[in-house]
Amino acid sequence: MVLLASLTISACSIGEDDNADQLSNPFDAFNAEALDTVRVEERRLRLDCLAAEGFPQFRDAMAGYQATESARDRIPAANLPTGLFLSEDDAKRRGFGESLPASLPKVIVRDAAIDEATNKCMVASWAAIGRGSESIYNAYVDTQNNLSSALLAVPVDTWSEIIDFTAKCLAGKGHAVSGDSNSRYGMTFSVPMGKAERREPLEPPTAGNFSAPGLPAVPYIPTEQESALAVDYYDCTVESGYRDEYVQERIRAANSAMSEYEGQLSELTPKIEALAKSATAAKFGAI
């Protein structure tokens, strides 16, 4: 039987900076950086193991690759008004489109031995980090997911008030907008929109092995008309007077989640920090 293995590495789009909001983020107490260290070092050990098993393609594909997603990116900043621009400069720069995340290096190995090697190296990489390391890592990821999900409970009433006011405000400024609950911004716009473009990744052959490098992230470039509209959009959300209330609701939800999972965080955070240190020093085969 011929088995196929594909290398996958997480990536995401460019994050947001905020100089306006000075409120602290309750989720800062979550040690996302230690979680990242364990994830990256476990992958290093696993790829070294695969190379020793006769499959260096996976490690080779990673050469020079810089991950663009962190655990911090995957947990919301509760003190920021997610879905809204952070300043006029932010609105002008980003517009209403989405940047393209980095595409991942891809390796396909059509070899019956790859399945056994993959399973062996998954066990060996965690063993090299330390006993119980995979369970601790997964438990901390579960806690991260639970914290992130807490913001889904934020009432939509304040958000709806912001959008309703903003739509009327923009219409008053002469912009043609229409409500759209599926849009990140609560509405659609009639101005020419910008784009984020790059070449398509290579297609793998139907037979044989395949390896392709990842492609870099590409920022979305708005049109001049779009940037001007985005600035008006931001100004209208500020004029609504509901932005601070929206952020406060997010912070309350985040604080509630931190209280709910306080026991897990107290137990797991020291463990994930210890794992980060042992993972950094670990070598393949040193079990």
**Could you list the mean pLDDT of each consecutive 10-residue stretch along the chain, which spans 287 residues?**
38 35 85 95 95 94 74 90 92 94 89 95 96 97 95 87 95 92 89 93 86 89 97 97 94 95 97 97 74
**Is 263 within 8 Å of 269 (Cβ atoms)?**
no
3-state secondary structure of 96: coil
Q: Strand ranges (DSSP E) for 48-119?
A: 106-110
Dihedrals φ, ψ of 179, to 5°? -65, 140
In DSSP notation, 149-198 reads HHGGGS-SHHHHHHHHHHHHHHHHTT--EEE-TTSTTSEEE-SPP-B---
3-state secondary structure of 211: strand
Say what the pLDDT of residue 23 is: 82
What size, in residues, is the chain?
A: 287
Count how many Cα atoms sit within 13 Å of the Cα of residue 256 in the half-sphere of its side chain. 12
Parallel, antiparallel or unpaired: strands 187-189 and 177-179: antiparallel
Quickly count: other Cβ atoms within 10 Å of residue 228's Cβ: 16
Q: What is the pTM of this model?
A: 0.83
Dihedrals φ, ψ of 248, to 5°? -60, -35
Distance CA 240, CA 231 (A): 14
Cα angle for residues 181, 184, 190 (degrees, 5° grid): 80
Say what the pLDDT of residue 6 is: 41
Count how many Cα atoms sit within 13 Å of the Cα of residue 240 in the half-sphere of its side chain. 26
Say what the pLDDT of residue 20 is: 38
Distance CA 101, CA 71 (A): 15
Say what the pLDDT of residue 22 is: 57
Say what the pLDDT of residue 82 is: 83
Q: For the chain, what is the radius of gyration of the CA atoms?
A: 23
**Is 231 within 8 Å of 88 (Cβ atoms)?**
yes
